[in-house]
Structure 1
Amino acid sequence: MPDAGPTAVLPRRPLTVGELLDSAVLLLRDHASVLLPFAALLAAGEQLLLAPLRTLAGSVPPIWWYADGRVSAYWLLLAVGAATEGVVIALLGSPAARAAGPALLGRTARAGELLRPAGARWGATLLLALVAGAVMFVAALCGPGWFVGFALLGALTPVLVTDRTPLLRALPRAVALAARGGLRAGLVRLLGYLGWWILRVGLASGILLTLPGLGLVPAEWAVPVALVVWAAVNTVAYPALACLDAVLHLETRMRSEGLDILLARSPAGMPERVLLAADR
């Protein structure tokens, strides 16, 4: 593990897959005071939204697996869950991208910078987050289409916030970046999701299956406890994935657009937003 510090978070060079995953975790660690509370609100809202759909699908806690034969209802639940994940990760992508840019330039962004409305483009971010949710909903309904949708949408918010790309061009640019190099960025994003999915399911399952066995959770508390545990696990996983999107986006630009070379040749005193913009 590299030493703590902004240059260790995101070196100014193309990275290996392992370095990308490490950089995402380090970025989350350095900005946990902003990212985790924001993620907690979104994760809690997601659990409340999914609760009635789980009841409709006959899914039972603590793991919410398919239970009683309502295939169509459970398929809808999975699609809505994919959509909410897409929206939450896209929204968290805004502060994550605003943290990754300064890290690439050799400094750690202050909490106030990540929360400041100026330059955040929250209106456009919300629209793109809803687009991401709609795409993931349709892709999940198509089964294996989820893999394609998730792989291609990782750069959506970073393109908007870091590259300063116009709203209507953000989606095509994000897809193009994900597809470069034989879909490298998209495949790394899928790998990151798989790793965090295994961790989430393992951790949440372990907690929720152990507590009743120890007599610490009465049967009537199974549902609310499951909601809290899943929200807590996602509170860490979702911003970690958003940080992976942010560092993967900048690394893809270094690898395919020579961003590291452009930064090295830029004159001193140029504003950070201009340095990182895709079109100067």
Structure 2
Amino acid sequence: MNDSPGWAVPGPSPSDGDRPGAPDGRDGGEGAQPPAQQPPAGGPKWSAEQPPPGEWSSPGAPQAPQAPQAPQTPQPPHQQPQPGAGWGSYAGPQSGQGPSGPYGSPGGPGQWGKPPAAKPGVIPLRPLDLGEILDGAVATMRSHWRSVLPITLVVATVVQVITVLVQKYTLSDLPVTSDAEPSLRELVDTLGGSMLALVANGFIQLIGTIVATAMLTMIFSRAVLGQSSGIGTAWREARPQLLRLLGLTLLLGVGGILLVGVLIAPGIAMGNIAVGLLGGFAALPLLLWLGIKFSLASPALMLEKSSVPTSLRRSSRLVQGSWWRIFGITALTGLITTFVSAIIVWPLSIAGLAIGVADAGPTALENGTAASGWAALILSAVGAVIAQTITMPIQSGVTVLLYVDQRIRREALDLELARAAGLENYGSDPAAPATGG
């Protein structure tokens, strides 16, 4: 098994392989043995074949007929044994249960609601709804601000300082209005230098975002267990996976560019603008679908210590069947963070433009000197630093919690998290809160 910060993850993940007798290939990992061949390790295991609808078999019960045993007192349905140990215990919806297994009806058929669940950290250990995911992201930022805010503040400050310098000394050289038309050579030289500076600036932003995302993922993974994580600890845990995370990010970016290029290439080859635009419009929904499909690859890569191809497969499996739900939560999070950023950035940007106009006169708006002045650039950068410091943890936190939520729904990750959080007999005691996949 591989070890992630605070809680273990399966070596070959439950969603990556097909265990004999497991439905949809979600209950077994690569190289996993059938439960009958696995020695008991502190608790019972689920059998390879799921029990019939509405009836749970005892964990580890043999499938072949056995000799008669002493009669046992039957348990009510809500006290039936739960998956006690091991990975791949996802049983899927059963008869009389909601879409998330036993979580749909804690009090029996017809009594819908949420069962009580242990909450060692920022989220309860059960399938989460939208409010709990957003609340968990905000609660982590609030309760672990000594670790979260310095990371995002440093990254946002470095990125914005470089951005201001690029805008001041490179982009401001682009001709806007001039009495004399610039020569073709001057225009090419100016555009070439500006593009080089933009690429360098974009690469620095990419590196900063990757470092922040990796460290925030580690902090959120511990916050789920109710554990704190310092900046040094988060860095040590994230550092081994940084190159892989960079490779994953570049692969997704290059893949998106190639997809757009392939779809607009026919229009370019034919010299037909309409065909090119049609290809571009066709690329948009494909990019959106692929973006959500692989949106959980980053936390899978960081927390499962997996490779880039494995993390992409894991994300695809976890998102399968929940694309619209994950899309809705991701889109709403984007709208919220965009709105918060606009509230912070726009007033400062307008104030910077006003100062530039006051210094250089009304013509500063026409020739662009107001927007490229120090006042406008610095105030805009200050607003961007504040906005990114606040919104970056929310976006990263929602992604991590979506990953955790999907694994709770599909793989009974709540059992492993409960054991990692030190909750004794969680999921095996009949009086304990109901758990499951």
Asked if Structure 1 and Structure 2 have the same fold, meaning a TM-score greater than 0.5 normalized by the shorter chain, the answer is: yes
Q: 2:143 — aligned with what?
A: 30
Cα displacement (A) at 1:151: 2.7
| 1:224 corresponds to 2:365 | no
Aligned counterpart, 1:17: 130
Deviation at 1:192, TM superposition (A): 0.7
Let me know the Cα RMSD of the aligned residues: 4.1
TM-fit CA distance, 1:261: 3.3
> Structure 1: 5+ residue runs without aligned partners?
1-5, 60-72, 270-280
Deviations 1:137-184 (A, max 9, x none): 667985735543543343222101212323321122223323442432
1:243 aligns with 2:397: yes
Corresponding letter in the other structure for 1:244:
V
Whether 1:188 and 2:329 are equivalent positions in the alignment is yes
Moved more, 98-107 or 9-18: 98-107
> Deviation at 1:136?
5.8
The Cα of 1:230 is off from its aligned counterpart by 1.7
Aligned with 2:153: secondary structure?
A: helix
Q: Of the two, which has the highest radius of gyration? A: 2
What is the deviation of 1:264? 4.7
Q: Contact between 2:218 and 2:238, CA under 8 Å: does it hold in 1?
A: no
TM-score normalized by structure 2?
0.47
Q: With CA pairs under 8 Å and 6+ residues apart, which has the higher RCO, 1 or 2? A: 1
Shift of the 210–128 alpha-carbon distance from structure 1 to 2, 3 Å rule, reads: same
Q: Structure 1 residue aligned with 2:227, among 96, 104, 107?
A: 107
Counterpart-to-counterpart distance in 1, 2:228 and 2:252? 29
Which of 160, 175, 192 in structure 1 is aligned with 2:316?
Answer: 175
Q: Does the 8 Å contact 1:83/1:132 carry over to 2? A: no
> Which deviates the most, 220-229 or 86-95?
86-95
Equivalent in 205, 208, 212 of residue 346 of structure 2? 205
Name the residue aligned to 2:109. Answer: none
Distance 2:384 2:421 in 1: 48
Query: Does the CA contact (< 8 Å) of 1:160 and 1:170 recur in 2?
Result: yes
- Partner in structure 2 of residue 164 of structure 1: 305
**Shift, 1:266, TM fit:** 7.9
Counterpart contact for 2:121–2:225, Cα < 8 Å:
no
* DSSP-derived class of the 1:246 partner: helix
Identify the residue that residue 407 of structure 2 maps to in structure 1. Answer: 253
Deviation at 1:253, TM superposition (A): 0.9
Secondary structure in 2 aligned to 1:108?
Answer: coil
State the alpha-carbon separation in 1 of the partners of residues 410 and 148 from structure 2.
29
CA distance in 1, matches of 2:419, 2:120: 18
Q: How many residues align?
A: 248
The percent of aligned pairs where both chains have the same amino acid is: 21
Aligned partner of 1:228: which letter? V
Stretch moving more, 116-125 or 239-248:
116-125
Aligned 1:43-58 pairs, distance under 5 A: 43-47=156-160, 48=162, 51-52=166-167
Contact 2:225-2:421 within 8 A present in 1 as well: no
The SS at the match of 1:106 is: coil
Q: 1:15 is paired with a residue of what secondary structure?
A: coil
- What CA distance in whole angstroms lies between the structure 2 residues aligned with 1:33 and 1:13? 28
Shift in Å at residue 227 of structure 1? 2.7
Structure 1 Cα separation of the partners of residues 402 and 332 of structure 2? 12
Check conservation: 1:154, 1:189, Cα contact below 8 A.
no
Q: Partners in 1 of 2:208 and 2:293 — Cα distance? A: 16
Q: Secondary structure at the match of 1:116?
A: helix
The answer as to 2:229 corresponding to 1:128 is: no
Match of 2:296 in 1: 155
Secondary structure, aligned partner of 1:121: helix
CA 1:209–1:128 in structure 2 vs 1: closer, same or farther (change >3 Å)?
same
Please list, as runs of the form range in 1=range in 2, the aligned pairs for 1:129-148 lying within 5 A after superposition.
129-135=249-255, 142=280, 144-145=284-285, 147-148=288-289
Task: Give the distance between the partners of 1:21 and 1:195, measured in 2 at CA.
Answer: 10
Give the secondary-structure state (helix, strand or coil) at the position aligned to 1:164: coil
User: Larger helix proportion, structure 1 or 2?
Assistant: 1
CA contact (8 A) 2:297 2:315 kept: yes
SS in 1 for 2:322: helix
1:241 Cα deviation from its structure 2 partner: 0.7
Q: Which amino acid aligns with 2:156?
A: A
CA contact (8 A) 1:91 1:129 kept: no
Residue in 1 that maps onto 2:236: 116
Q: Match for residue 7 of structure 1?
A: 120
SS for the counterpart of 1:9 is coil
Q: Which amino acid aligns with 1:154?
A: S
1:234 aligned partner, one-letter code: Q
Contact 1:178-1:186 at 8 Å conserved across structures: no
TM-score after normalising by structure 1: 0.69
